[in-house]
Structure 1
Amino acid sequence: MRRSTLSLAITLALGLTLAVPASAHDTSDGGAIRHLMMATFDKPESPLTVEPVVVQGDIAVAGWSQGEMGGRALLRRKGDAWTLTLCSGDALKEAASLTHFGLSQTEASAMAAAIAEAEAKLDPALVAKFSTFDGVVMMDEEGHHPPVHGGGHKPHS
């Protein structure tokens, strides 16, 4: 009897541990980036999904979706923290565009290949949302975008 109680307790503990989202105890760069983006844009009425996160040195590109919209975010490491630099769509998966955002040609090519590989593992419907972001929206010092007027991308909120 005692042995079955212990087995049940271990099984329940494992089940509860596995039920906690990986990002809840992910201290990696990817986890920090997800946390930053969730803290900035996630809304109860419009949940944010951040996947994939591709990190190369002090630069990262994260795919995101929120409702019917999606896009990609470029982030930069500043000290020990990550900051949002800009949001865009397909431009952030192209090496030529990544060089315009400050990556060397070698870094840009490697980042573009890593993004393609990471996105190939995702549901094509999710990846298609990343292309819905129109243009480039630069972020301010706090990692928020200015109000958007007229056409193009709608704000996250």
Structure 2
Amino acid sequence: MPERWWWPVAALLLTGCIPNTVLDESKVRAATEAHFGSPLAPIDVGPIVLSGDHAIADWTQGDFGGRALFERGTYGWSLLLCSGDSIRRAENLKQAGVPDFNAGWIADRLAAAEAGLPPERLARMKRFVGTAADHEKYLKTLGGK
């Protein structure tokens, strides 16, 4: 009799260990919209590429855009940095703290996902020059948080 209840309990415990990509993608989308969105300037988010505890979300807003690198932590998905084309390369992802395998996977999947985007959207994301790594400082310049 004790063996019968053991398997359902084990299955329930294991489901908490299996990542839910769809749920994570929606959380990264929401985090991107929260950081960059505005009722005055709607934001278009996607594609989003996830690997392990890291994700990149492409975003455009008006004539500009960029790519946001997120990391999953204790309290959910946090923005690490925002950049333009430079963050598309695995070596730059590694430099930002993404593990080797995940950096390669994200770079490859992002290239494949962006291959289907309109050239004008890619051009808007390319306009983000440099890397904004100190997001908290950026928020303070906006007078918030």
Output the TM-score relative to the length of structure 2.
0.75
For residues 4-15 of structure 1, what are the structure 2 equivalents within 5 Å? none
Q: Per the alignment, in what secondary structure is the counterpart of residue 117 of structure 2? A: coil
Provide Cα deviations, 1:68-92, integer angstroms capped at 9, x if missing partner: 1111000000125111111011111
Residue aligning to 2:6: none
Provide Cα deviations, 1:103-139, integer angstroms capped at 9, x if missing partner: 2333222211011011112222112211110101014
* Cα RMSD after superposing both structures: 2.2
Residue 40 of structure 1 deviates from its aligned partner by 2.6
The answer to whether residue 54 in structure 2 is matched with residue 59 in structure 1 is yes
1:144–1:34 distance in 2 versus 1, CA, 3 Å: farther
Residue aligning to 2:40: 45
Residue aligning to 1:138: 133
Provide Cα deviations, 1:5-49, integer angstroms capped at 9, x if missing partner: xxxxxxxxxxxxxxxxxxxxx961111111112123211221111
**Which portions of structure 1, spanning 4 or more consecutive aligned residues, are displaced by more than 4 angstroms?**
143-146
Could you tell me how far apart the structure 2 residues matched to 1:106 and 1:33 are? 20
Residue aligning to 1:86: 81
Which structure has the highest helix share of the two? 2
Please say if residues 32 and 68 of structure 2, whose CA atoms lie closer than 8 Å, have aligned partners that are also in contact: no
Residue 144 of structure 1 deviates from its aligned partner by 5.4
Tell me the matched-pair count.
122
Could you tell me how far apart the structure 1 residues matched to 2:72 and 2:63 are? 29
Residue aligning to 1:29: 24
Over the matched positions of the two proteins, sequence identity in percent amounts to 36
Could you tell me how far apart the structure 1 residues matched to 2:75 and 2:140 are? 25
Give 5+ residue unaligned stretches, structure 1.
1-25, 149-157
Please say if residues 52 and 102 of structure 2, whose CA atoms lie closer than 8 Å, have aligned partners that are also in contact: no
Residue aligning to 2:102: 107
Could you tell me how far apart the structure 1 residues matched to 2:86 and 2:35 are? 22
